Amino acid sequence: MKLNIFVMNGFRAGGSPFGGAFPGFPPGVSPGAFVRQLLLKAVAVMLAVILPVLLFRARALADADLSIVAVLFLLRSALLRDWSWLRARWLQWGLGLWGLITLSSAFTGPFASFMQGLLTLRFFIFCAALAFWVLTGSRARKSLAFVCAFLAIWTIAECWEQYLTGTNIFGYPRWGDGALTGPFVHPKAGNALLMVLFPGAMPGILRRLSDNSWRRRLNGGLLLLLCVATMILIGQRMSAVLTFLGLLLTALLVKPMRLPVLGAVALGGVLLVALPVVSPPSYAKLVLKFTHQLAHFASSDYGQLFGRAGAMVEAHPFLGLGFDGFRLHCLDPSYLHDMPLLGIPYVAPPESGCNLHPHNYYLQVATAAGLPGLLLFVLMALSWLRIVVRPHLPVPGVERMARTSETVPPTPENAMLLVALCVQLWPLASTSALFSVPPAGWLFLTAGWALAAAGAGSRSGQQPDMEPPPVQDDWSAFSRPETVIRQDDLLR
């Protein structure tokens, strides 16, 4: 009804449903096209909100979900004749990377590799759709955050159920090496919790820790300690390390978080010391195996993977080996040698340096698209961070970085999304395959969400969707003098 009244009033005002309120709106867009793009957006928002659930439980459906969002965004752009989002610098770097991967795959083959390289385009378009269209409204972002918070709580609850009773709700015990699997069959709980912890659970914890009420502050502190304790008991090394990295970044970003984070880190240290008694399997994997791998990294499986990837990049520095090139060529005798530059000797058998991917985003990009592709990926990541960090810089810093004084205010949402993006882009990490789901789903979902929360869409020159005014974020309450956190605290 409101939409009909709006359109009719627009016609009365002068033949346009926009009635002069948006003079920059492209001429020639029919009311029917405008209504259709609103319907497309409603579907895209729904798909984006449920995507984390699919990334948890159904990777094929998750891939279909984000692909549909990308297609809907292209349809919306065609309906409104609005392709201004293509001017985004980060997207240009990303499309350049996509072009290099596709070109390399065409030269090195096989055809399936070329097709997979060609289809990686969906991830970049999906990210742009979130940043410039789907998540520009605060209600959509809050719904997405609610889903991630629910998944974080569910994962934590299932981990504790498995730890205390021996099985999770589905009857599965912890993994053979001692890792808690939470709501999963396989040991995926650590990475899954990491993906939803900072964008989903941490904004709520941040608000509680910043409240005047000591009860809410105590509640927030206990929730933070519970998250840290759960991540340690899960027993997955990289997830635990990246969680502590994210907490340290949070402490640097938000001054009042420093004492709670210090307490959480102290608790983590105490729990690590007590692990031989509290959870011997977690201690064996998280402490003993981790320290052994670090001490003998060059000869470990991870070191051999990195060395094999380095040998491939050394042999093909300009174009790489195409999509899936690491898996297809890792047993090639020409790559079975020492890598003195990396300090990694070749250790037989050759299978020790082989896997589906080199377990590092940056090495994977370098093997797929060479050093130029690696440069484009780094430039895209830095462009993301350059936009997402703007709300948390002093005004002079914003003006220097963006040549504009226009920025959105700092909020718990965009603060934690910045941390989540930094954690996922951390280069010294063992990761899953970059251009597969769920890893690509999490990375590009987080990036698009963070860009939208930082106001990238409002500064991109995008034409308006006639979205309702955004609901004011809860962070605005913290700017009152009587509260513990002020917006200035985020800028220090």
DSSP string, 187-237: S-HHHHHHHHIIIIIHHHHHHHHTSS-HHHHHHHHHHHHHHHHHHHHHT-H
* Whole-number Cα distances in Å, 30 to 37, 76, 158: 11, 13, 51
Please, what sign has the CA dihedral across residues 437, 148, 414, 78? positive
pLDDT value of position 254: 87
Question: Residue 15 — pLDDT band, cuts 50, 70, 90?
Answer: very low
Report helix angle 189-196 to 412-425, nearest 10: 140
At 397-454, the pLDDT tens digits run: 444 444 444 568 888 999 999 999 999 999 998 899 999 999 999 999 999 999 999 9
> Across the strands, what pairs with 173?
167
Q: How far is CA 357 from the centre of its chain?
A: 19
Q: Would you say residue 336 has pLDDT above 70?
A: yes
Comparing 486 with 406, which gets the higher pLDDT? Answer: 406
pLDDT value of position 21: 38
CA angle 400-458-80, nearest 5°? 140
Least confident of 42-46, 167-171, 179-183, 458-462: 458-462
Backbone angle region of 178, left / alpha / beta, with phi > 0 → left and psi within -120 to 50 → alpha: left
Q: What is the pTM of this model?
A: 0.86
Question: Residue 55 — pLDDT band, cuts 50, 70, 90?
Answer: very high
Domain extents in the chain: 31-139+361-468, 144-295
At 368-377, the pLDDT tens digits run: 999 999 999 9
pLDDT value of position 273: 87
Per the prediction, the chain carries an average pLDDT of 84
Residues 293, 284: Cα–Cα separation, whole Å: 12
Would you call 168 helix, strand, or coil by DSSP?
A: coil
Token reading at 401? 């970085």
Residues 124, 134: Cα–Cα separation, whole Å: 14
Residues 147, 141: Cα–Cα separation, whole Å: 10
pLDDT value of position 486: 37
Question: Residue 353 — pLDDT band, cuts 50, 70, 90?
Answer: confident
DSSP string, 246-305: HHHHHHHH-GGGHHHHHHHHHHHHHHHHHHHHH-HHHHIIIIIIHHHHHHTTTTSHHHHH
Q: Would you say residue 483 has pLDDT above 70?
A: no
Alpha helical stretches, state H, 19-137? 31-57, 59-80, 89-108, 111-119, 121-129
pLDDT value of position 27: 57
Share of the chain above pLDDT 70, in %: 84
Q: Would you say residue 76 has pLDDT above 90?
A: yes
Q: Nearest to residue 373, comparing CAs of 329, 435, 328? A: 435
Contacts of 149 (CB under 8 A, 6+ apart): 196, 200, 201, 204
Token reading at 306? 């990195």
Residue 358 CB neighbour total at 10 angstroms: 31
Q: Would you say residue 272 has pLDDT above 90?
A: no
- Give me the mean pLDDT over the 87-110 stretch: 94
* Whole-number Cα distances in Å, 188 to 71, 103, 130, 215: 30, 34, 26, 34
Q: Nearest to residue 448, comparing CAs of 145, 50, 123? A: 123
Residues 175, 185: Cα–Cα separation, whole Å: 8
Residue with tokens 């596709």: 102
CB-CB contact of 192 with 182 (8 Å) = yes
Residue 86 CB neighbour total at 10 angstroms: 12
Residue with tokens 């290099």: 100
Residues 456, 134: Cα–Cα separation, whole Å: 12
Length of the chain: 492
The CA R_g of the chain, rounded to the nearest whole Å, is 24
- Give me the mean pLDDT over the 218-243 stretch: 92
Would you call 480 helix, strand, or coil by DSSP?
A: coil
Comparing 76 with 481, which gets the higher pLDDT? Answer: 76
End-to-end CA distance of the chain: give it in Å, rounded: 47
- Give me the mean pLDDT over the 221-246 stretch: 93
pLDDT value of position 214: 85
* Whole-number Cα distances in Å, 373 to 52, 144, 376, 377, 482: 28, 32, 5, 6, 50
